[in-house]
Structures are given as C-alpha cells and as structure tokens.
Amino acid sequence: MNWKVALILAVTAGFLVVVLWGLDLDTARADVRGFAWWVIVPSCACYFGSHLCRCWRMRILLDRPLGLGRLLVVNSIGFLAINVVPLRLGEFVRPWLFFEQDRIPFGESLAAVFVERLLDVLMLLVLLLLVGLLVPIPPEGVRIHGVDVLEGGIRMALALLGVGALASIAVVVSKESAIRWFTRPVAWFSPSLAGRIASLLRSFRLHVATLARRPVRAILVLGLSAATWACTIAGVRFVYLGTDFAGLGFRAATINWGITLAAMTAVPTPGFFGPYEAASSAALRLVGLDADHAVTLAVITHVGQFGFTVAVGMIFLVGAGLSLREVVRRSQAAGRDVAGR
C-alpha cells in the first residue's frame, strides 16, 4: 500500500477511535432507533439546492454557455471524487471533465476552481466569525485533540485569503510583469513548467479581472457562495428535526457547520470521516448536548451528507458511462502534467 494512503487512513482511523471511544452504545442505539428518517428528504433537497448554487456560480466563473444540467453532472461527479479521494486530489476531476467533454482548456477551468475555493474560504471565515457571535466561547476555545479549531480556522482562513488576495491583485494589476516574477525562479530549472504556470496564472487573471470589471457578476458570485452554505446549514437543521433535539435551530446548525467545515478544510481525510465527527460533536457540545448524543448526531448528519454526495455522483457517473477510478486516474495525470511532475 502507498505509504501516503496508509498515513491518511491511519489519521482517519485515529480520529474515529478518539471520537467513538467510550461512546455509550445504548444511548447511540436509542438515538438511531428514534431518528425520524423522513427528515432525510427535505435535508437532501437542501443539499441539492447547494449543488445548484455551486453550478450557477461555476457557470459565471467559467463564462461559458454551459447549461445548468451539464454543470450539475460535472459538479456531482467532481464532488464525489473530492469525497472519496484523499487530500482533495479529486479537485482535478472537474477541470478534466470540462476539458475532455466541453473542450474548455484544463488550465482555464482549474483557475475557475481556484477562484471558487477562495470564495469558499471567504465564506468559511464569515461562518467562523458568526460562531464567535452566536455562542459564548470557553476561555480554552473549541478544542479538538488539544487544537483550538475556531482560532486555528480563523487564522488559516485569513492566511489563505491574504495570500490569495495579494496574488490576485499582483497578477491583475501588474499583469505580465507579475507573472514573470512568479515564474522566473521556476524557469531556472524547468522552462516548460514555467510556461504552464504562466498559462494558468493568465487564466486566473482573466477570471478575476472579469469579475472586477463586472461588479454585478461579482456580487452575484458572492451571493451564490453565501447561498451554497445557507442551503447546507438548512439541510443540517432538518436533520435535527428528526431527533429528540428538534429545539436545536439554525443557530446551532450554523455553529455546527462552521466548526465542522474548518476541520474538514484543515484535515481532508477520505470522506472527511474522523475530522467531521470530532468537530461536529465538539460544536454540538458547545450548544448544550452531552457527549454521547453529540457524537451520535454528528455521525447521523455526516452519513446523510456523505450518502447524498455519493448517491448523486454515482447516478451521474453511471449515466455518463464513466468509471470513477479511470476519471480520477486521468484527471490526476492531467494535474501532474500542469505541475510538470
């Protein structure tokens, strides 16, 4: 087994063992038996709404005449890959599908995905700041295995946004001079790699400059980014209605999702199993649940989200006559080619 995969699986297993260790099985069984499974329907409808918001946002970022149906196919398969492939290497799947089936240059769609991720980091920062306003934070913070995920998440989001914003401004304002500055060190040992990076940066500049020149589009993209996570939070809220903790409202769902998303972003294990349960249960304890109920509810919520993503992705994957293994393999090869490896 590849040592990287083994390490990732070990980290995932370690998180799950720590979270589930000492769980009262009688309490967990009672929570599962008492769960009203009908709430999965409106919950999945909210998750589907989140998918549609992402598709509309990607259509604006790509600035291509692609139908929402086509974008739904690509996004669903892409997020299936992101959920099952470690370290978010499934991110290459969507650019590869756009290249193979829609003839959109790989670097162009990869740049659009990068802009999309910057927007998601911005939304993560907003969510984490909301968490600080919605619930009293203990003096020691929100700790998971000794790490304050709230403070760490805010710092991580600020760092990523800062680097992304500075790079965006430099590339857009300085244009070719900034691109030459970024690629000059690479050109010393690999001119071909420098050329590929320059092409990727030009695509990135095009996306950012287009949004800067069209403020209405930029506002719409920001609104869709907020709507994406609002739909997800609504889906989490519906899950609560199927439990004995229906009193947990949108406030609790926002706190839960903000902290959970920070952990998932920092530790992208396969399916996000482990970090999801650790962060979600910690958030639920913050809003008043005891440890056993919090862990069980975290597992139920995660299984629902993961099941929805896998089911929708597999439906579109099979419908397109594709193999997930082949799609991931070829998309990673395309990504390595861009990176010159």
Which value, in Å, is the radius of gyration of the alpha carbons in the chain?
21
Q: What is the DSSP letter of 91?
A: G
DSSP-derived 3-state class of residue 144: strand
**Segment 127-179, tens digit of pLDDT:** 999 998 888 888 877 887 777 888 888 888 888 888 888 877 777 777 677 77
User: Which of 231, 245, 234 shows the shortest CA–CA distance to 36?
Assistant: 245
Question: Percent of the chain at pLDDT above 70?
Answer: 91
pLDDT, tens only, 249-282: 899 999 999 999 998 888 888 888 888 988 999 9
Mean local confidence (pLDDT), 302-320: 92
Burial category of 45 from C-beta neighbours within 10 Å (exposed 0-12, middle 13-18, buried 19 and up) = middle
Q: Where are the domains of the chain?
A: 24-339
pLDDT, tens digit, for every residue of 193-230? 777 777 777 777 777 777 777 888 889 999 999 999 99
Task: Report pTM.
Answer: 0.87
Residues 6+ apart with CB under 8 A from 8: 86, 87, 269, 270
Q: Is the pLDDT of residue 73 over 80?
A: yes
Within 10 angstroms of residue 151's Cβ, the number of other Cβ atoms is: 16
The SS3 assignment for 330 reads helix
